A and B are shown apart, each in its own frame.
Chain A
């Protein structure tokens, strides 16, 4: 049973990492959003499995938040925003996808080597989980720096945050996981609804793509 439980946790965390790689590979905004929804679903399965294995019922709440909020509501809302604001459907990359993928592989190797070495004394459950989680976090960061467009930066941030939730769920008996996932959801909701929709709509009534481009955070 224990072996099986470990294998399933391993499989789910590994799938999350795989979906992170798939997200880096996307160059269309809509497919990126779909893969993000998948990311959230895999996360919610992974957290639910941790809840079952650790016998920690409160983690089911975190899993449910991941499934409904990040798997359904946020991707749908972002799709709507992209349609309504007529944002570029293509994801602008700072560097080519090939180089980004190579960097991603390097970061994954780094995080696995680092975490497995550092957590030599921790139990194997937490070890593997933390290694995958760190890789997902670093890939999220990579996505935020290699994408120009604000929507994909938000998606990058959310995938980074999924990695954090995976790490928090993997740390056995960690308190405040639910509160932290709620806090993150509030943060994201605030940003997506508030800054994005409300402020930008109000300011750029003409929905000028050029104006939106200037709003990207990476220019002086």
Chain B
């Protein structure tokens, strides 16, 4: 028994994946949503604490199961942090859904269990060193979100869940085929069996792999995991899934699940760059990123549903991030990483505010939401801060990261930079146009006060604000190390 404890304490990774796994079963058995939502928060907090210990002390050495390096530490800390804040938001949000009769207690129990199962899948995908296991984990996370998207069982929710399932499965199938091709490329060099699926082995020997196989594999992986990132033209599931599911799930989808898929693409991109004869992965990612950015920016103008609006904005930002990583090099990678963190925090904060707004107004239609600064000043200005941040205005962190992406691109490919700036400005215009409608004018609909807690919103927005003004030295050094790792 004590030996078991020693193993557990020596390796925080076991907590990061173990806590959500156990919590999912506990929550499935717990009646009563008040207790369940607190257990959900506590489990998320525990995983966050375990993730933070990764920042201090010695990193566990890579094994055949787990790998902890600078790159995935960023993702893990972000994942568990937003997982925790979204769980706290959910605790103050979901009771209201019960009162409204949109959910029954049984479904709520299911919801909490699925929430932790999804966290387990995402955390496992981030810490694992095995590309097969990574695929299984991402599939698990996807499946649990599919079930949560459909939880309201309205026609629209079922249709959204169905679309998400079909497109997500196609994506996941293509990604599996890519994974098999990577194994086929590695097998002659590394021999049969598990060794040829371990990412650190793959990276060390990538130079000897057959470049043609690796190229084909990367195309499948990029299309497959790109579906989950929400890259156009494979994005069709994303707006529906965001709009029809419970709002905490929209926040987690935008803030986390897209990042986890991006993480998988980045891992395989590193393999590609390690092989000098293989296709350069950058241009493919640059094209997909730009197409997503510009397409989504145009689509922003035609939205009627507030959650769909911000879902398209997520596609736009994932486009910018994939573009930045596609450009590569220390500066663009740094900017991409920073942008990813800022977008996750900013976008989930927006969804938290939108959740409260939709509950007060009883509607997600943009036309039904007016005059928030008069009726709900705190909520209105929080939403304003979030939208201004995500539109890329100073002094918020997104401005800084977008500025870095643009300047680093201008130095190397001015024509691409012009397209990038065009997309960003287009999106900014759409968001500001909608924002004035939300904030000003005669207040519409119900005027009842905000019931839930605004703390998660404040927490996220203050980080985004501080990052825009001042980035601490250790953080910069850490991100620079990741940028070098990505090449």
User: Residues of A with Cβ closer than 8 Å to B?
Assistant: 114, 117-122, 126, 130, 133-134, 137, 141, 144, 150, 153, 157, 160-161, 164, 167-168, 171-176, 179-180, 183, 187, 190-191, 194-195, 199-200, 202-203, 211, 214-217, 219
Cβ-closest 6 pairs across A and B: A173-B192, A176-B132, A217-B163, A118-B212, A217-B162, A175-B194
- When each residue 151-184 of chain B gets 1 if its CB lies under 8 Å from chain A and 0 otherwise, what string results? 0010100110111011001100100110011011
Residues A144 and B166 in contact, CB atoms below 8 Å apart? yes
Main secondary structure of the interface of B (DSSP, over half): helix
* From B139, B159, B187, contact of A183 by CB (8 A): B139
Residues A126 and B165 in contact, CB atoms below 8 Å apart? no
Residues B162 and A175 in contact, CB atoms below 8 Å apart? no
Q: List 5 A-B contacts (CB under 8 A).
A: A118-B212, A118-B213, A122-B213, A157-B166, A215-B155
A118-B180 Cα distance, complex, nearest whole Å: 14
Q: Which A residue's beta carbon lies closest to that of B135?
A: A180
Closest CB-CB distance, B178 to chain A, in whole Å?
A: 11
Residues A173 and B193 in contact, CB atoms below 8 Å apart? yes
A183-B136 Cα distance, complex, nearest whole Å: 7
A160-B166 Cα distance, complex, nearest whole Å: 12
- With a CB–CB cut-off of 8 A, which chain B residues contact A164? 173, 176-177, 180
Q: Which A residue's beta carbon lies closest to that of B154?
A: A203
The answer to whether A150 and B153 touch (CB under 8 A), given A171-B187, A190-B143, is no
The answer to whether A144 and B170 touch (CB under 8 A), given A176-B132, A203-B158, is yes
Closest CB-CB distance, B24 to chain A, in whole Å?
A: 15
Closest CB-CB distance, B86 to chain A, in whole Å?
A: 24
Q: Judge whether B305 is part of the interface by a CB distance below 8 angstroms.
A: no
**B residues 192-212 in Cβ contact with A at 8 Å:** 192-194, 196-197, 210, 212
Residues A180 and B155 in contact, CB atoms below 8 Å apart? no
**B residues 55-98 in Cβ contact with A at 8 Å:** none
Residues A176 and B197 in contact, CB atoms below 8 Å apart? yes
The answer to whether A194 and B147 touch (CB under 8 A), given A171-B183, A173-B192, A175-B132, is yes
- With a CB–CB cut-off of 8 A, which chain B residues contact A202? 153
Closest CB-CB distance, B150 to chain A, in whole Å?
A: 7
Closest CB-CB distance, A94 to chain B, in whole Å?
A: 14
Q: Judge whether B133 is part of the interface by a CB distance below 8 angstroms.
A: yes
Q: Judge whether B233 is part of the interface by a CB distance below 8 angstroms.
A: no
Residues B212 and A217 in contact, CB atoms below 8 Å apart? no
Which interface residue of B130, B161, B173 has the most chain A CB atoms within 10 A? B173
A170-B187 Cα distance, complex, nearest whole Å: 12
Which interface residue of B143, B159, B184 has the most chain A CB atoms within 10 A? B184
- With a CB–CB cut-off of 8 A, which chain A residues contact B163? 217
Residues B169 and A137 in contact, CB atoms below 8 Å apart? no
Residues B159 and A195 in contact, CB atoms below 8 Å apart? no
Residues B193 and A121 in contact, CB atoms below 8 Å apart? no
* From B133, B170, B173, contact of A176 by CB (8 A): B133
Residues B159 and A214 in contact, CB atoms below 8 Å apart? yes
- With a CB–CB cut-off of 8 A, which chain B residues contact A130? 180-181, 184
Q: Judge whether B362 is part of the interface by a CB distance below 8 angstroms.
A: no
- With a CB–CB cut-off of 8 A, which chain A residues contact B140? 183
Residues A215 and B158 in contact, CB atoms below 8 Å apart? yes
**5 extra interface residue pairs, beta carbon distance < 8 Å, beyond A118-B216, A122-B188, A215-B155:** A167-B177, A175-B197, A183-B139, A199-B158, A215-B159
